[in-house]
Chain A
């Protein structure tokens, strides 16, 4: 069965960077784009972008351009999302998700807390 397993919770200081991993299993990793979506505490969902695992091509939301980098390692079927120059309002749960129709699959979420 398809599974997306993310790295554990992280606490970072303002100005630092965080890198979240998402290990895929149960399907051919390079066949589907991987999306990243975040959710601040008590808030709604925010789409950050996607990576094409086959080509490494990316599509980032303008809001995160210059601060986000999505990469992948096809040898271990893992996608990564790195966010730099962290601010307090980057505190959120970060999800990786395979959103191709008809079935969507989501990771369990990774809580990133930005605090001094």
Chain B
């Protein structure tokens, strides 16, 4: 089973700053099948990035994904109030399709 470790657990930033979230796998993610999701309280998750770097429809270009193999990064530039939420990475290269434990992005 692929274990995904996200860091940091909590990230405190101000609007306008840049957030950098990390997702590290204990083994290579096949074909870079890694997605990033955003979840707000009381809501279902919403995918932002798939295949490591492809932006989902409707996601602004200030949100980007990068990385390959075992190390992946989600970068959110020019933070806006609606960006403060919990973010999860998930791999679907091999079953089970595991999630990371999440990073909470909070307003400083």
Listed in ascending order, the chain A residues whose CB lies under 8 Å from chain B are: 35, 37, 44-47, 49, 59, 61-63, 95, 97, 99, 101-104, 106-109
Which of B45, B96, B98 touches A106 (beta carbons < 8 Å)? B45
Q: Is the interface of B mostly helix, strand, loop or mixed?
A: loop
CA distance A104 to B50 in the complex (A): 10
Determine whether the beta carbon of A45 is less than 8 Å from that of B96: no
Looking across the interface, which residue of chain B has its beta carbon closest to that of A59?
B95
Residue B32 CB within 8 A of the other chain? no
How many residues of chain B get a CB closer than 8 Å to chain A's CBs?
A: 24
Given contacts A61-B95, A61-B96, A62-B1, contact A45 B45 (CB under 8 A): yes
CA distance A108 to B97 in the complex (A): 21
CA distance A45 to B30 in the complex (A): 21
Contacts of B39 on A, CB cut-off 8 Å?
A: 45
Which of A44, A45, A102, A107 touches B57 (beta carbons < 8 Å)? A102
Contacts of B97 on A, CB cut-off 8 Å?
A: 35, 47, 61
Which of A59, A61, A97, A102 touches B50 (beta carbons < 8 Å)? A102
CA distance A62 to B47 in the complex (A): 24
Determine whether the beta carbon of A44 is less than 8 Å from that of B47: no
Looking across the interface, which residue of chain A has its beta carbon closest to that of B92?
A99
Determine whether the beta carbon of B50 is less than 8 Å from that of A45: no
Contacts of B44 on A, CB cut-off 8 Å?
A: 95, 97, 106-109
Which of A44, A61, A104 touches B56 (beta carbons < 8 Å)? A104
Task: Please list 16 pairs of residues, one from A and one from B, whose beta carbons are closer than 8 Å in the complex, sorted by A's number.
Answer: A35-B97, A37-B45, A45-B88, A46-B99, A47-B90, A47-B97, A47-B98, A62-B1, A62-B96, A97-B44, A99-B35, A99-B47, A101-B54, A101-B56, A102-B56, A104-B45
Determine whether the beta carbon of A47 is less than 8 Å from that of B57: no
CA distance A20 to B44 in the complex (A): 16
Q: How far is the CB of B91 from chain A (nearest CB, A)?
A: 10
Determine whether the beta carbon of B98 is less than 8 Å from that of A104: no
Chain B, 1-47, CB within 8 A of any chain A CB: 1, 35, 37, 39, 44-47
